[in-house]
Amino acid sequence: MLSYRACDEQNLTTKVKPAFEAAIRKMESLGAILCDPVEIATFEEWKTRVKTDYFTVILTDFKEDLAKYLSGMKSTDVHNLQDIIE
């Protein structure tokens, strides 16, 4: 995980850092409550998490949606997954 501070030390240029700090001060002056540090997943961590979560959702949704679809079929003898397997 990266935080703003880790990113600051590693990647922010001399032009970006003052602009970023000014934006933070402006948001605070307007009443924003900022959480610092905030952990942000690296792109690789995000990709791994998305692939895992997406695959889980797809498997779950596919099973439920297929069951709903098949149960509503009127012009066939296939009404569930078991009917397809047999």
Q: What is the mean pLDDT of residues 51-60?
A: 79
Is the pTM higher than 0.85?
no
Q: Which helix (H) or strand (E) holds 3?
A: strand 2-3
Q: Which helix (H) or strand (E) holds 40?
A: strand 39-40
CA distance 77 to 84: 9
Q: What is the mean pLDDT of residues 68-86?
A: 87
